[in-house]
Structure 1
Amino acid sequence: MLFQIFSLLLEVVAGVLGGACLLRLYMQYQRIPMSARSGNPLGRFVFALTDWLVLPLRRFVPAAGRWDLSSLLAAWLIELAMFSLIWVFTSFVTSYVSVLILAAFGVVRLVISGLTGLIIVYAVLSWVQSHTVLSDIIQRLVAPFLAPIRRFVPLVGGVDLSPLVLLVLLQVAAIVLGHLQGLALL
């Protein structure tokens, strides 16, 4: 029971910190202003959670075009730390190479979970017609993923079903990821 509580708390902390690193990566790729002057509360929150790890990594890891690789590495390191702690306390995996693989799968799982969360928040905000800085940012973050689906899924009675379709596709991706993770650890 204590291990389950420890594992849950560890997953929550790693999920929030790793997800913030990935959100930082994606927001910088989308060129969404994140400074305090921009009035972006989400950007300030992401900076506050990730600066302690991302900024030191930038000394060694250069960006690749618009991709901030130090944020990606930070997310992987957080996942690696989580799985390493679990590995130390259990015989969950047999070798440390498996921990490295699990950390990579963990980052992909964070991407799927984070995008799922963004789509749900986007859908809720679209129902209430919120015109705030935060709703505009979330719309900019999800638009590239919804645009290709909107080409194939028409409005039904004036309702946009593309977020629902994307959520189903993300769940399928999570199932495939779980299967691939199982195969990789055999």
Structure 2
Amino acid sequence: MEKPSILGDSNGHHFWDGELPFYQRKDIKTAYIQLQTALSNIRSRIDIEFGKKEWKLIDPAHESFSYCKDRSKEGEEDTGMQGAIYGVEKENYERILHIVKEELQPYGFTKIIDVSDVDLYGTNIHNVKDGGYVGITLNKSKSSFAMSYTTGCRPSSGSKGGGESSGEGGRSSASNGAS
């Protein structure tokens, strides 16, 4: 596992936005549906393997996303919570991480970044090409586990911007699906 690196560059491109040219990335709706499917499967598999849990903090499904700008390209992104549970023993973190990686891998989320510290186990699983990541954490002392995601800036039906080689422009975004 790698440790986190720089958050972005001075041109408004963040590491979670993806390396592919903007219009070659999967669009926002596809990314959203794929993440919702994978994260739902993860919750189900955790319930099967560790016993039925009372999942909290699952953002409701929605069809609108936040404006974003990756360099000179305008698109949309989404960020959300996809569940929190209590009573997860820290000894189970590696098994849960394995489940998360298996469910995300088909959608291009393969780069593992360890963000653990003294109080929690934490991992971000990135989609380097298309952008986005899923973050999971397990508080070591409270036995609480949580999952969240961001899609990174993606093309949408209303995307616009300059040529692919342009490095100009800034970034502006809201969070959690507000448009």
- TM range, normalised to the smaller chain? under 0.3
Q: TM-score, normalised by structure 1?
A: 0.26
More strand by share: 2
Q: TM-score, normalised by structure 2?
A: 0.27
- Tell me which of the two structures has the higher relative contact order, counting C-alpha pairs closer than 8 angstroms and 6 or more residues apart: 2
